[in-house]
C-alpha cells in the first residue's frame, strides 16, 4: 500500500555504484519479490525475533504521512495543504513553546561564555554552573557515568522524596536513561529468560503502548494480555489480572506486570485503591512491577489524582515495601515541558536483588551514557526555580498555562467526539491522548478485508488521504476483538484542535454514509 | 616508606575487590531480617537470593564481563573527592585519560558548534547580535528543519530529513564521488547504539550453533560486551603488534577456523583507525578483508569513528565503502556492509551529546524494512546531537565570519594531537620495559608494558590482572587514570595500558612526566 499512490520507480536492488533506492521503493521491491543473489543477511538468516517487532506509532501510516508531506512540497494537489500529525505525543511539533528557564540554562551549558552575559537571570546561571561543575572537563560534551551524573541522580532522588511525601529514595537506585523507553527495554532485557514453559511472561494491558509489545517480541518473551475495562473508563480490574495470569501459567512463567499510569493510549488515571489492589496481586503472585509513570504531571479530570506506585507501596507498610520489587519510569518528554527531542529520562529500582543490580549496572554500560543535555534537562525538571528565585514567576506562569490548556483540550475532545454518532469516547482523565471507540459499517469492514487491511487501519488511512490527519489505528495498541478505535493526541493548539475534531467528525459521517 | 604506601594501596583495593559483594550481601541480609516476621519458614531456610523475582536473569547479560575498570573508576572518584577535601597527595589533580573523551581531558569544545547549539536551544539569542551573523543564520536554518522549530520535538526515526541528506552528501564527498543515499542512513544516540541494533538483527539468540562475530584483539571493549549481551560468541583475531598492529588475513582465517564446533561465524567487526591499537589500514589490506568476507559469506561491520584522526605520514583514511565500490562488481554489488561514524570523535569530540550514524550498503531491502522497525522503537536520536552531526560535516567555510576562530581552534587541536603522538612515542619508548608502536590514527596510545615477574606475582596475590595492578598503582601514586590492556584483549603473556592522547599539550606533558617517574620506580621496586 505504501507505494501504491506514490508512483515511486522500482530501482535496481543491489550495488552501491547505483542509487541505493528510497525506503519506499525498497518496500515495493520486497513486495514485488525481487531478491538479491545470495545475501548473507536475509529474512531466513536474521534474528527471527526482530521480524515480529512492530511499532505502530511510527508504523506504515506515519510513513505514508511523511510521503504525503513530500508530495505536498513537490506541488502535488491534495484536498488539504498540510498534514497534521496527531499520531504522536510531540508537544513542540504541535507548537508548544519550551519553558524559558530550561532553555536558558541549557544554552548557558552549551556555550558557557554566555555566563558573562547580563541578559540571563542569576538563577539560570547558578544552575548552569552547577551542571557544568558536575560534567567531565566542565563540558556537556564529555561522557558521564553510565548510570548518569551523580549530582543529578541525587536531585532526582530528592524530587521523588518530595513527590512521595518524604518516603526515602536513594541515588544509588536511580538510573538515568535515553528517554524512558530505553530504561523500560533495559529492565525487560534483564528479566526475560528461561526456555519453553519457563520462558518469562510479561503482563501488559490491552490497549497498551506498543513499545512493550515490540520489546517483548524482540526479546522473545511471552506477552500476557490483560484487558482494561472500556465501559468503566478504561479502569484496571484485578479479577481480569487473575484471569490472564491463570491462563498464562499453562504456557509460560509470568514474572512481570507492566502498568501505565496515567494510561497511554487510554488516558485513565488509576485510583489509590486500584494501585493497592495491584500491589497486593503482585506480591501474592510474585511479580516484578514495572510502573510507567511518564504522564505523572498530566492529570486533568476533577477528582483524579496521580499516586505513584512507590508511595502507595510504602504506605502499605513493611510487609509490602520491603518485598515487592519494582521499577518506576519517568521522562522529560511529556508533562508540561514536552521536550521529546532531548531523550531524557530515569528509572528508580526498588527492592532489587543487589547482585542483579550489579548486572543492571553492567548492562547500561554498553550504552556508554545517556545524552548529557537530556540529563541536564532532567536536572532542571526535578529541581525547578524556587519561589525566592527570579525565574520562578515566569516558570510557574508557563507551566500552569500549558497544563490548563491541556485540561481544556481534554474536555473539548471528549465532548466533541461524544457528539458524533458512531464515536464514543471516555473522558481523558490524564496523559495526552484520546482513544475513542468507532463503529464501522459492515461494508467498510468487508472493503478493508478486500484490501488486506485491518478495518481501523483502513479507516485511518482513508482519513489521512482525504483530510491530511494522521492518527494511529487502535489495532496498533490492541483492543477487544470486534471493537475499533484510534489514538489521537490532544496536543494541537486549541484552535487547531477544533479544526481537527471537526474534520474527523465530517469524515466519520461521510465514511459511515459511504459504506452504509 | 615506599612499601608501606604500597601496602596501604593494596589492602585498599583488596578490600574493594573482595568485600564489595559481601557488603551488598550484608545490606541484603539486613533488609531481609527487617521483614523476616512476614516470611514463612520455608522462605527463611531457602537461598535468600532466590526469593527475588528478579533473581534469575538473562543468561547473555550474565555472560558479559564484569570489568575491573569499574573498580578503578570508583577509586578515581574517591581520590577526586579526597583532593577536593584537601587530603595530601603527591599530585594536585587527577588526569583522567581512560576514555576517548577530549573534553574530559581539557580540550575545549569548538566555539562555532556551541554557539549554534546555544542559539538553537534558546532562540531569543538569535534576535540580538550577541552571536555572529553566520552563527545566527545557521541556527535559524537548523531550527527550520526541526518539527515546530524546536529541538524539543521528535525527528523521524532515521533522523532529521535535512541532516540525513547532508550526511549522505558528506559521505559522497569523502568517498570521491561514490554515491550515498539518505535512505540507507540511520542516525542514533551514538554509533554504539546503531551497532547494537545491527548486531541485534544479525544475531539469532536461539541459533544452534550460536552466531559468531570475528572481533579484533585488542578491541573496543564495549562492542565485545554488546556482542556477548546479545547471545553471540566472540571470535578474536589478533592484530600483529610488531607490525604496527596490522591486520593479517591468515589470522582472520585462523579465527574463522577456530569457530568449528563452537559457533557459526556470521559477521566480521573491524575498527579502522584502530581502538585501542592505533593502526590505520592500507587499501590493500582492506581489499583482502573484503575478499575474505565475500568468500566466507560474512557481514562486514566497519567501525570508522576515528576517520578524522589520522597522523602518520603517507597514511590516509579510506572508508570500506569506498574501497568496496572501487573494487567494482561483483564485490561492490554483493558484500554487505554497515559503516559507523560518530560526532563523539574527531576534532569536535562531542561524546556527551550522543550522536552517531550507520550507513548500510547492499542490504536485502526486506531486512532493511525490519531494521527500520527496530530503530523506530528507539523513537529517534537526541535532536541536539543530530544538529551537532550536521555542524560537524558542514563546518564554517573561508569567508564566513566564524571561520577564522574555527580554523584557529581546529588547527590548535590538530597540531597538539600530532605533537602528542610524537611525544608519547618518544617518551614511552625511552622507558625501559615499555614499547609503543607508532600511533597512525585514533586517539589512543596502547603501549606494551613488560611487567616484571615479581609484580605479576604480586598481582596474582591480590587477584588482579597484572596490567590492572599496574594501572591501580599508577592511579594511586600519580593520579593518572588509564585502562589496563586486559580489558581489550591481548596476546597471552603480554600486557598493555591504554590512554587517550587527545589532550591539551601541557596535560600530556604532565601525564608523561608522572608516568615516567612512576614506571621507573615500579620497575625498580619489582626487579
CB proximity A73 to B under 8 Å: no
Please measure the distance between the N-terminal and C-terminal CA atoms of chain B and give it in whole angstroms.
18
Cis peptide before B32 (omega within 30 of 0): no
- Band (pLDDT 50/70/90 cuts) for residue B379 is confident
Whether residue B526 contacts residue B473, with contact meaning beta carbons closer than 8 Å, is answered with no
CB proximity A515 to B under 8 Å: no
Q: Test B154 with A93 for CB contact under 8 angstroms.
A: yes
Stretch A264-269: mean pLDDT: 95
- What DSSP line would sit under B148-179, residue for residue? GG-TTS---TT--HHHHHHHHHHHHHHTTT--
Ordered alpha helix ranges (H), A205-333: 210-219, 238-248, 272-285, 309-315, 318-321
pLDDT, tens only, B263-318: 999 999 999 999 999 999 999 999 999 999 999 999 999 999 999 999 878 899 99
**Minimal Cα distance from B190: which residue of A?**
A367
Residues 327-386 of A with CB under 8 A from B: 337-343, 351-359, 361-363, 365-374
Interface test with A, best of B33, B116, B153 (most A CBs within 10 A): B153
Residues of chain B found within 8 Å of residue A2, distances taken between Cβ atoms: none
What residues pair up with A348 in beta bridges, in sequence order? Answer: A174, A328
Q: Test B103 with A104 for CB contact under 8 angstroms.
A: no
**Minimal Cα distance from B384: which residue of A?**
A342
Stretch A339-353: mean pLDDT: 96
Nearest to A25 by CA among A37, A12, A38, A35: A12
Per-residue burial over A91-113, b if 16 or more Cβ lie within 10 Å, else e, is bbbbebbbbbbbbbbbbbbbbbe
Residues of chain B found within 8 Å of residue A110, distances taken between Cβ atoms: 114, 117-118, 121
Percent of chain B surpassing pLDDT 90: 78
Sign of CA dihedral A458, A460, A461, A466: positive
pLDDT, tens only, A384-394: 999 999 999 99
pLDDT, tens only, B210-231: 999 999 999 988 899 889 988 8
Tell me how close the Cα of A444 comes to any Cα of chain B, in angstroms. Answer: 28
pLDDT, tens only, A424-450: 999 999 999 999 999 999 999 999 999
Q: Test A341 with B117 for CB contact under 8 angstroms.
A: no
Whether residue B193 contacts residue B358, with contact meaning beta carbons closer than 8 Å, is answered with no
Least confident of A134-138, A363-367, A500-504, B231-235: A363-367
What residues pair up with B3 in beta bridges, in sequence order? Answer: none
Residues 169-228 of A with CB under 8 A from B: 178-179, 181-182, 185, 189-194, 211, 214-215, 218, 220
Interface test with B, best of A353, A363, A378 (most B CBs within 10 A): A353
Give the pLDDT score at A37: 58
**Minimal Cα distance from B27: which residue of A?**
A354
Tell me how close the Cα of B150 comes to any Cα of chain A, in angstroms. Answer: 6
- Which of the pair, A113 or A53, is modelled with greater confidence? A113
Residues 67-126 of B with CB under 8 A from A: 67, 70, 73, 96, 99, 101, 103-109, 111, 114-115, 117-119, 121-122, 125
CB proximity A316 to B under 8 Å: no
B181 → closest Cβ in A21, A141, A194: A21
Residues of chain B found within 8 Å of residue A20, distances taken between Cβ atoms: 179-181, 183-184, 361
Residues 37-56 of B with CB under 8 A from A: 38, 49, 52-56
Q: Test B154 with A88 for CB contact under 8 angstroms.
A: yes
- Angle at which helices A272-285 and A238-248 cross, to 10°: 20
CB proximity B373 to A under 8 Å: yes
CB proximity A94 to B under 8 Å: yes
Tell me how close the Cα of B38 comes to any Cα of chain A, in angstroms. Answer: 6
Q: Which element (helix H / strand E) includes B116?
A: helix B111-121
A352 → closest Cβ in B54, B148, B222: B54
Interface test with A, best of B17, B54, B409 (most A CBs within 10 A): B54
Alpha-carbon distance of A431 to A419, in angstroms, equals 22
- Angle at which helices B2-34 and B466-478 cross, to 10°: 100
Least confident of A147-156, B140-149, B284-293, B367-376: B367-376
Phi and psi at residue B244, in whole multiples of 5°?
Answer: 65, 35
Percent of chain B surpassing pLDDT 70: 91
Residues of chain A found within 8 Å of residue B203, distances taken between Cβ atoms: 47
**pTM confidence score:** 0.90
pLDDT, tens only, B56-88: 888 878 777 777 788 898 899 999 999 999 999
Cis peptide before A236 (omega within 30 of 0): no
Give the pLDDT score at B269: 97
Question: Which residues, including other chains, have CB under 8 Å from residue A65's CB and lie 6 or more apart?
Answer: A83, A85, A87, A464, A470
Q: Hunting for cell 496536543 — which residue is that?
A: A491
B334 → closest Cβ in A14, A18, A103: A14
A107 → closest Cβ in B125, B202, B225: B125
Interface test with A, best of B53, B103, B198 (most A CBs within 10 A): B53
- Band (pLDDT 50/70/90 cuts) for residue A33 is very low
Residues 214-243 of B with CB under 8 A from A: 222, 225-226, 229
Interface test with A, best of B159, B202, B379, B483 (most A CBs within 10 A): B379
pLDDT higher than 60, residue B469: yes
Tell me how close the Cα of B216 comes to any Cα of chain A, in angstroms. Answer: 18
- Band (pLDDT 50/70/90 cuts) for residue B50 is low
Q: Test B354 with A371 for CB contact under 8 angstroms.
A: yes
Stretch A12-38: mean pLDDT: 42
Stretch B448-473: mean pLDDT: 94
- Band (pLDDT 50/70/90 cuts) for residue B49 is low
Q: Which element (helix H / strand E) includes B268?
A: strand B263-271
Alpha-carbon distance of B154 to B168, in angstroms, equals 21
Q: Test A26 with B183 for CB contact under 8 angstroms.
A: yes
**Minimal Cα distance from A15: which residue of B?**
B333
Give the pLDDT score at A250: 95
Q: How confident is the prediction for chain A on average, in pLDDT?
A: 90
Nearest to A344 by CA among A308, A367, A376: A376
Least confident of A81-90, A127-136, A208-217, B25-34: B25-34
Tell me how close the Cα of B485 comes to any Cα of chain A, in angstroms. Answer: 18
Interface test with B, best of A40, A68, A125, A316 (most B CBs within 10 A): A40
Tell me how close the Cα of A282 comes to any Cα of chain B, in angstroms. Answer: 10
Amino acid at each position: 500500500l505504501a507505494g501504491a499512490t506514490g508512483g515511486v520507480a522500482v530501482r535496481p536492488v543491489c550495488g552501491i555504484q547505483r542509487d541505493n533506492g528510497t525506503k519506499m521503493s525498497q518496500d515495493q521491491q520486497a513486495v514485488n519479490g525481487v531478491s538479491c543473489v545470495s545475501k548473507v543477511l536475509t529474512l531466513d538468516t536474521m534474528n527471527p525475533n526482530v521480524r515480529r517487532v512492530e511499532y505502530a506509532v511510527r508504523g506504515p501510516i506515519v510513513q505514508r504521512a511523511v510521503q504525503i508531506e513530500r508530495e505536498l512540497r513537490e506541488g502535488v494537489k491534495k484536498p488539504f495543504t498540510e498534514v497534521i500529525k496527531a499520531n504522536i505525543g510531540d508537544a513542540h511539533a504541535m507548537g508548544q513553546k519550551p519553558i524559558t528557564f530550561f532553555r536558558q540554562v541549557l544554552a548557558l551549558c552549551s556555550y558557557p561564555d554566555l555566563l558573562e552575559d547580563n541578559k540571563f537571570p542569576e538563577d539560570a546561571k547558578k544552575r548552569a554552573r552547577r551542571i557544568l561543575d558536575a560534567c567531565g572537563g566542565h563540558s556537556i560534551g564529555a561522557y558521564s557515568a553510565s548510570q548518569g551524573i551523580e549530582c543529578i541522580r541525587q536531585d532526582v532522588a530528592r524530587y521523588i522524596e518530595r513527590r512521595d511525601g518524604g518516603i526515602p529514595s536513594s541515588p544509588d537506585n536511580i538510573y538515568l536513561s535515553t528517554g524512558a523507553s530505553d530504561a523500560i527495554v533495559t529492565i525487560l532485557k534483564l528479566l526475560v529468560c528461561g526456555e519453553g514453559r519457563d520462558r518469562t511472561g510479561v503482563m501488559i494491558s490491552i490497549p497498551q503502548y506498543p513499545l512493550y509489545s515490540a520489546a517483548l517480541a524482540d526479546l522473545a518473551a511471552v506477552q500476557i494480555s490483560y484487558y482494561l475495562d472500556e465501559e468503566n473508563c478504561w479502569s484496571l480490574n484485578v479479577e481480569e489480572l487473575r484471569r490472564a495470569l491463570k491462563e498464562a501459567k499453562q504456557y509460560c512463567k509470568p514474572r512481570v506486570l507492566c502498568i501505565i499510569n496515567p494510561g497511554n493510549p487510554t488516558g485513565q488515571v488509576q485510583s489509590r485503591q486500584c494501585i493497592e489492589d495491584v500491589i497486593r496481586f503482585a506480591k501474592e503472585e510474585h511479580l516484578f512491577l514495572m510502573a510507567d509513570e511518564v504522564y505523572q504531571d498530566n492529570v486533568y479530570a476533577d477528582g483524579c489524582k496521580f499516586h505513584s506506585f512507590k508511595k502507595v507501596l510504602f504506605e502499605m507498610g513493611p510487609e509490602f515495601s520491603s518485598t515487592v520489587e519494582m521499577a518506576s519510569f519517568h521522562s522529560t518528554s511529556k508533562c508540561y515541558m514536552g521536550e521529546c527531542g532531548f531523550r531524557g529520562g530515569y528509572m528508580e529500582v526498588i527492592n532489587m536483588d543487589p547482585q542483579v543490580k550489579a548486572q543492571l549496572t553492567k548492562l547500561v554500560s554498553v550504552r556508554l551514557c545517556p545524552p548529557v543535555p537530556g540529563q541536564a534537562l532532567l536536572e532542571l525538571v526535578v529541581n525547578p526555580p524556587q519561589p525566592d528565585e527570579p525565574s520562578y514567576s515566569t516558570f510557574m506562569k508557563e507551566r500552569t498555562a500549558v497544563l490548563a490548556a491541556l485540561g481544556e483540550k481534554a474536555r473539548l475532545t471528549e465532548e466533541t467526539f461524544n457528539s458524533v454518532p458512531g464515536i464514543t469516547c471516555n473522558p481523558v482523565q490524564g496523559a495526552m491522548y484520546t482513544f475513542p471507540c468507532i463503529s464501522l459499517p459492515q461494508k467498510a469492514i468487508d472493503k478493508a478485508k478486500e484490501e488486506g487491511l485491518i478495518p481501523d487501519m483502513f479507516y485511518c488511512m482513508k482519513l489521512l488521504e482525504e483530510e491530511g490527519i494522521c492518527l494511529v489505528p487502535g489495532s496498533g495498541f490492541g483492543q477487544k476483538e470486534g471493537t475499533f478505535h484510534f489514538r489521537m493526541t490532544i496536543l494541537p493548539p486549541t484552535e487547531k484542535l477544533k479544526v481537527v475534531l471537526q474534520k474527523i467528525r465530517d469524515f466519520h459521517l461521510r465514511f459511515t454514509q459511504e459504506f452504509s | 616508606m615506599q612499601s608501606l604506601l604500597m601496602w596501604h594501596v593494596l589492602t585498599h583495593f583488596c578490600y574493594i575487590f573482595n568485600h564489595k559483594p559481601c557488603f551488598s550481601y550484608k545490606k541484603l541480609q539486613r533488609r531481609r531480617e527487617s521483614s523476616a516476621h512476614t516470611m514463612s519458614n520455608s522462605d527463611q531456610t531457602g537461598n535468600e537470593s532466590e526469593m527475588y523475582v528478579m533473581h534469575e536473569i538473562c543468561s547473555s547479560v550474565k555472560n558479559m564481563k564484569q570489568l575491573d575498570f569499574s573498580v578503578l573508576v570508583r577509586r578515581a572518584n574517591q581520590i577526586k573527592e579526597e583532593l577536593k577535601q584537601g587530603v595530601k597527595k603527591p599530585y594536585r589533580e587527577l588526569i583522567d585519560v581512560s576514555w576517548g573523551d577530549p573534553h574530559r581531558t581539557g580540550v575545549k569544545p569548538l566555539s562555532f558548534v556551541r554557539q549554534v547549539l546555544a542559539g538553537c536551544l534558546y532562540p531569543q539569542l538569535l534576535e540580538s547580535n550577541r552571536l555572529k551573523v553566520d552563527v545566527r543564520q545557521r541556527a535559524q536554518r537548523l531550527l527550520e528543519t526541526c518539527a515546530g522549530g524546536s529541538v524539543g520535538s521528535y525527528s523521524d526515526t532515521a533522523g532529521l530529513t535535512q541532516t540525513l541528506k547532508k550526511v549522505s552528501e558528506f559521505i559522497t564527498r569523502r568517498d570521491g564521488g561514490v554515491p550515498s543515499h539518505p535512505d540507507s542512513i540511520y542516525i542514533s544516540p551514538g554509533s554504539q547504539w546503531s551497532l547494537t541494533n545491527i548486531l541485534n538483527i544479525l544475531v539469532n539468540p536461539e541459533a544452534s550453533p550460536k552466531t559468531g562475530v570475528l572481533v579484533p584483539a585488542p578491541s573496543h571493549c564495549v562492542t565485545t560486551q554488546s556482542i556477548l549481551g546479545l547471545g553471540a560468541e566472540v571470535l578474536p583475531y589478533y592484530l600483529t603488534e610488531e607490525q604496527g598492529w596490522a591486520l593479517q588475513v591468515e589470522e582472520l582465517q585462523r579465527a574463522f577456523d577456530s569457530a568449528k564446533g563452537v559457533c557459526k561465524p556470521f559477521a566480521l567487526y573491524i575498527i579502522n583507525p584502530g581502538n585501542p591499537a592505533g593502526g590505520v589500514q592500507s587499501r590493500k589490506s582492506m581489499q583482502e578483508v573484503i575478499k575474505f568476507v565475500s568468500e566466507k559469506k560474512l557481514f562486514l561491520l566497519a567501525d570508522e569513528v576515528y576517520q578524522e584522526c589520522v597522523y602518520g605520514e603517507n597514511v590516509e583514511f579510506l572508508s570500506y565503502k569506498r574501497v568496496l565500490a572501487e573494487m567494482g562488481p561483483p564485490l561492490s554489488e554483493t558484500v554487505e556492509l554497515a559503516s559507523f561514524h560518530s560526532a563523539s570523535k574527531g576534532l569536535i569530540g562531542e561524546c556527551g551529546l550522543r550522536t552517531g550514524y550507520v550507513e548500510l550498503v547492499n542490504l536485502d531491502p526486506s531486512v532493511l524494512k525490519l531494521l527500520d522497525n527496530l530503530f523506530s522503537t528507539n523513537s529517534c536520536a537526541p535532536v541536539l546531537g543530530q544538529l551537532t552531526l550536521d555542524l560537524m560535516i558542514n563546518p564554517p567555510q573561508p569567508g564566513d565570519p566564524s571561520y577564522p576562530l574555527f580554523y584557529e581552534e581546529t588547527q590548535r587541536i590538530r597540531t597538539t594531537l600530532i605533537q602528542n603522538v610524537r611525544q608519547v612515542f618518544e617518551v614511552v619508548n625511552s622507558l625501559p620495559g615499555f614499547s609503543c608502536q607508532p600511533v597512525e590514527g585514533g586517539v589512543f596510545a596502547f603501549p606494551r608494558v613488560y611487567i616484571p615477574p615479581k609484580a605479576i606475582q604480586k598481582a596474582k596475590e591480590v587477584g588482579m590482572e597484572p596490567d590492572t595492578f599496574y594501572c591501580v598503582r599508577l592511579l594511586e601514586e600519580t593520579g593518572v587514570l588509564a585502562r589496563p590492556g586486559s580489558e581489550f584483549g591481548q596476546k597471552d603473556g603480554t600486557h598493555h595500558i591504554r590512554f587517550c592522547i587527545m589532550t591539551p599539550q601541557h596535560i600530556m606533558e604532565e601525564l608523561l612526566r608522572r608516568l615516567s617517574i612512576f614506571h621507573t620506580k615500579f620497575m625498580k621496586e619489582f626487579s
